[in-house]
Amino acid sequence: MSNWTEVQIVTLVAGSSVFAAVVTQGVSVIRDGLKRGEDRTFARLYASTALEAYANALSMAVSDSSNYDVSEGEVGEAIINIPEFPPFSTDIDWRALGAATTKQLLAFPVEVDRLRAELSFEWDVIGDPDVTAPKVREYAAWVGLRALHLAAGLNAEFTADPYELSDGSWNLEDNLKREFESHRDARLAQERANQDFVLSIANEHEPAEVSDMPEAQA
């Protein structure tokens, strides 16, 4: 057995240290990667759940408003604007979601606020629930569908089946689609009727054709 020189011993120790450092670094990278993946999964879960809950609240508001009108105030509740979007949970790690997804999600409350401001202005100007309520219901249903669309995008990465917002006889997305299409079509029909009425009034008051003026007498 040959004797180890000091140079050989130092080289061996140094090599072992480098190998150990590489292994430690590799384990750290793997652990960080797993944590980022877990943070991303929970961030998507928090955000998608908030969006689905908001869509459900919008559906309920639309139904309450419709029932209120049909029952002449006996059932349901009148709404003059779409419900506010509750702030996203502070537990969401936005960095884990990535810039593109974060931008898309944070833009949604801004759009909701814009629509709320539009409806609020119309209410201040018109002040008639019979006129504003149908448009509020239409907007609420559309925003609910938008929220479900965003939630579906977040849920697409889950390996498990997403939470089913249906009991087999009632489906949240289908209900919002029906409400949106119904109120949109009613609004468009009313707008056409209003235009026809204005045109009919204008035609009734249209001046008759004026005949040529007689020549002036000398």
**Structural domain spans, the chain:** 44-204
pLDDT in tens, 84-101: 999 999 989 999 999 999
> Among candidates 154, 150, 121, which has minimal Cα distance to 54?
150
Mean pLDDT is lowest, of 93-97, 134-138, 161-165, for 161-165
Q: How far apart are CA 56 and CA 62, in angstroms?
A: 10
Instruction: Report the pLDDT averaged over residues 114-124.
Output: 93
pLDDT in tens, 167-181: 555 689 999 999 999
Three-state SS at 100: helix
Question: What average pLDDT does the chain have?
Answer: 78
* Number of Cβ within a 10 Å radius of residue 171: 14
Q: Which residue has the higher pLDDT, 171 or 162?
A: 171
Cα-based torsion angle of the residue sequence 15, 19, 20, 26 in order, rounded to the nearest 10 degrees: 160
Q: What is the model's pLDDT at position 168?
A: 56
Share of the chain above pLDDT 90, in %: 39
Task: Quote the tokens at residue 123.
Answer: 């209410």
> pLDDT category, 46, cuts 50, 70, 90?
very high
pTM, 2 dp: 0.71
Instruction: Report the pLDDT averaged over residues 188-209.
Output: 75
Please return the burial class of 180, using the count of CB atoms within 10 Å of its CB with bins 0-12, 13-18 and 19+. Answer: buried
Is the C-alpha dihedral spanning 88, 93, 95, 98 positive or negative? negative
Instruction: Report the pLDDT averaged over residues 180-198.
Output: 84
